[in-house]
Amino acid sequence: MTSYLLRRINLLLVTLFILTIASYALAYLFPGEALQNLSGQLNPNDTTYAALSEKYAMDAHPIFGFFTYLGHLLHGDWGTSINSGKPVLDEILSHLPATLELSTYALFMSLLIGIPVGFWAGIRFHRSVDYAVMTGSVVGFSIPVFWLALILIMLFSLNLGLLPMSGRISLLFDIPERSGFIVLDILLSDVPNKREALYNAFLHMILPTLSITIVTSAVVMRITRRSVADVIQSDYIKAAIARGLSRTQALWRHGVRNALLPIMPQIVMQFTVLLTNAMIVELIFSWPGIGNWLLQAIYQRDYPAISGGMLAVSAVVIFFTLTMDVLVRALNPLKRRDVHGTI
């Protein structure tokens, strides 16, 4: 397990190194001068231009310039946003928690809905319940998330007036930002109306979370249903039933864990899609996450923010994927080669 963990860490470092090369290359591929795209400084005077050229080693070989750029990244200097004038890393750290919070809620709700419904459909394989669940999952998976978000806004915000349509919390609440996670910030704050603030934040979360959950849970249903159906038809479940266990007892005693193990790697693969959907939903609901910030940077041609945001989002996806890969290997004995005997 230790050697496998070291290989995963090496893969993480190599992948991040390649992404850093791509981020550095974008400065030369974007329109304009590479120095401005790296630093975010527009129209610097001669003194500032000379200082920036020396800082980013613009007169040296590109390989040396890349390692200089890498050194700045490791020291927290990701350039300056052209739009806001703030350091890019500060902007990323300010907006990334909102995206992670929304993605976490959506992933939790997707698993909470998708796995039980998928189990139900798998147990009732090729019956009316199975067909109904499969039809619903196909419909949910086929709906574009941006179109679904607009439909939910029209229904629950504009027509019924039940839920807010934008933001994370009402402007009436002044919540100091500490962690970037709105619920945690409310709990850590000293505002007198903390309960009302939590309720208002919960209302603002419903529609963005629901938009992502409907699409993601449909995929989880299909994956779970297929896994459970395969387990039910396996020989060891048939043998357990032949020994006197009921179908339900055999499934719960011997089938649940074996059905869940193949599901986890598939769910990990869906995290990238979920995060992409979250970034799209952020723009529609004015959710102040990194997706909304990154799309605004693209519209305004804020090249330092674009390259930094791309690097940050890619790093989050890769880190999550490799972490879950290690977790799946630790939980699944079949993935560990050291459990098999040798002659």
Q: 165-202 as b/e, with b when 16 or more CB fall inside 10 Å?
A: beebbeeebebeeeebbbbebbeebeeeeeeebbebbe
Share of the chain above pLDDT 90, in %: 18
For the four alpha carbons of 255, 258, 261 and 267, in that order, the dihedral sign comes to negative
The whole-angstrom separation of Cα 113 and Cα 121 is: 12
- Between 46 and 114, name the one with better pLDDT: 114
What are the domain boundaries of the chain? 1-39+41-78+302-343, 98-299
* Three-state secondary structure string covering 57-124: CCCCCHHHHHHHHHHHHHCCCCCECCCCCCEHHHHHHHHHHHHHHHHHHHHHHHHHHHHHHHHHHHHC
pLDDT digits (tens, 9 = 90+) for 252-269: 777 777 787 777 777 777
The whole-angstrom separation of Cα 231 and Cα 250 is: 10
* pLDDT at residue 335, rounded to an integer: 62
The residues with which 87 forms a beta bridge, in sequence order, are: 80
Segment 205-210 shows an average pLDDT of: 94
Angle at 278 between CA 117 and CA 114, to 5 degrees: 5
Q: List the structure tokens of 112.
A: 């909470």
Cβ pair 55, 77 in contact under 8 A:
no
Segment 130-137 shows an average pLDDT of: 88
CATH superfamily of domain region 98-299? MetI-like (1.10.3720.10)
The whole-angstrom separation of Cα 134 and Cα 221 is: 8
pLDDT digits (tens, 9 = 90+) for 222-242: 888 888 888 888 888 888 888
pLDDT digits (tens, 9 = 90+) for 190-202: 888 888 989 999 9
If you average pLDDT over every residue of the chain, what do you get? 85
Sequence-distant (≥ 6) Cβ neighbours of residue 123 within 8 angstroms: 228, 232, 251
* pLDDT at residue 253, rounded to an integer: 77
- Is the per-residue pLDDT at 153 higher than 90? yes
Sequence-distant (≥ 6) Cβ neighbours of residue 47 within 8 angstroms: none
- Give CA torsion, residues 246, 251, 252, 253, to 10 deg: 80
**pLDDT band for position 339 (50/70/90)?**
very low
Q: List the structure tokens of 242.
A: 């032949």
pLDDT digits (tens, 9 = 90+) for 63-98: 888 888 898 889 888 888 888 888 899 999 999 999
